[in-house]
Structure 1
């Protein structure tokens, strides 16, 4: 177990595509969706229409599979001028339901990293999305006992991190956020005054892209989560 840093007391972890696979299943479902509507457009065009619907609907449905499924249905109605067969709608709903029941696939280095840090630091899961689905994935992951707190939020911004790190830690200045999304995990955490540790995933949703804040003193990038313990030791 690493020695406790005098400057760092709390570490927040993103969930989807940081602790377990997520975007991979969205991409597979999107491919299925475009195949169902192949006669109404090329895959890239249909995917673009779907992304536009997701962007519009975030303020209505929030993040997660349920909103994604509704956006697929909306897009299917749009691209068929309202003539989408009921059988296609049924298959879209089935695809969304399959995503909601898919087994959790934990990413490499996750368990051993959390086990090495647990007890030495306050470990907080900070994720956004559908409450039921995030709770399901955490339970199935078997990682729940390693966290001191779990926060499932509707949005991640600087005020979110300030509130959470004040509630569960010693404030943003003594906290760190670890995740794969520059837009949601890293940039706003740094804006709040925390460390932001970027662990890229091979697949990242287009709406989570942002520029790396390379000039920020508290920005760090790792190749994989297994490098986190050594990074924290160097910061101590």
Structure 2
């Protein structure tokens, strides 16, 4: 039974709802472009542009907006007009101002852990956007450290643990994305609990063959994640 001194949480779709904001925005974008192409074709093209643009613009609403604009220009062969581009920009502003809806069990989980372990948020995306969501969520009071990173891979986690002088075996990550929150943490010898969300962006999905190489703790909901944490690990001093 490993002793845990630091528990980190992903933010989007782990602490609060996020995917619905993107899904709703995408649908409005599809509606804008359906005079030119059918929805499935627009969706597949947008997904490809988003993935191609991650290395340029990173994750988050701003990168998503630039990908929508690029997709709109490409699929309309430049016929989309300035007013329609303005609609896409306004859509992005609405996304950035969307209310932060905390997921069930999160407040109780954080309150139960506060004071027992160090608590962190490790989230990827645009710095200004993520900081704004943390502020609007009113969850910052629970956390000792908040990190917004450009990507989540084994090096990202190793560098963070080195910076905070956290032993890898004493670190545990809780998140909804197998690709970003779970597998890279297990790869460095740390601990993780997967709390699935009902929908996952295609770029965050992992094939079943890859998953065969991992022993993953999975909890349906944050309350169950806390039960699993207490059943599987111990805290220093307990």
> TM class, shorter-chain normalised?
over 0.9
Alignment of 1:58-97 (within 5 A): 58-97=54-93
Residues 169 and 234 of structure 1, relative CA distance in 2, 3 Å threshold: farther
Query: What's the CA shift for 1:211?
Result: 3.9
The match for 1:220 among 207, 217, 227 is 217
User: Any idea what the Cα deviations from partners look like across 1:58-94, whole Å, max 9, x if unmatched?
Assistant: 0110000000001000000001101101111011110
The 2-side partners of 1:169 and 1:9 are apart by 11
The 2-side partners of 1:120 and 1:211 are apart by 36
Gaps of 5+ in 2: none
Does the CA contact (< 8 Å) of 2:195 and 2:225 recur in 1? no
Aligned to 2:152: 156
Does the CA contact (< 8 Å) of 2:8 and 2:173 recur in 1? yes
Aligned to 2:205: 209
User: Any idea what the Cα deviations from partners look like across 1:124-162, whole Å, max 9, x if unmatched?
Assistant: 100000000000000010100101101100010011111
Does the CA contact (< 8 Å) of 1:69 and 1:96 recur in 2? yes
Gaps of 5+ in 1: none
Residues 115 and 198 of structure 1, relative CA distance in 2, 3 Å threshold: same
Does the CA contact (< 8 Å) of 2:120 and 2:143 recur in 1? yes
Q: Give the secondary structure class of the aligned counterpart of 1:177.
A: strand
Does the CA contact (< 8 Å) of 2:9 and 2:174 recur in 1? yes
The answer to whether residue 221 in structure 2 is matched with residue 232 in structure 1 is no
Alignment of 1:1-236 (within 5 A): 7-168=3-164, 170-211=166-207, 213=211, 215-217=213-215, 219-235=216-232, 236=234
The 2-side partners of 1:30 and 1:208 are apart by 17
The 2-side partners of 1:46 and 1:202 are apart by 23
Does the CA contact (< 8 Å) of 1:178 and 1:199 recur in 2? yes
Under a length normalisation based on structure 2, what TM-score does the superposition of the two structures give? 0.93
- Report the count of equivalent residues: 231
The 1-side partners of 2:162 and 2:172 are apart by 12
Q: Report the more deviating stretch, 162-171 or 126-135.
A: 162-171
The 2-side partners of 1:106 and 1:178 are apart by 15
Q: Give the secondary structure class of the aligned counterpart of 1:40.
A: coil
Under a length normalisation based on structure 1, what TM-score does the superposition of the two structures give? 0.94
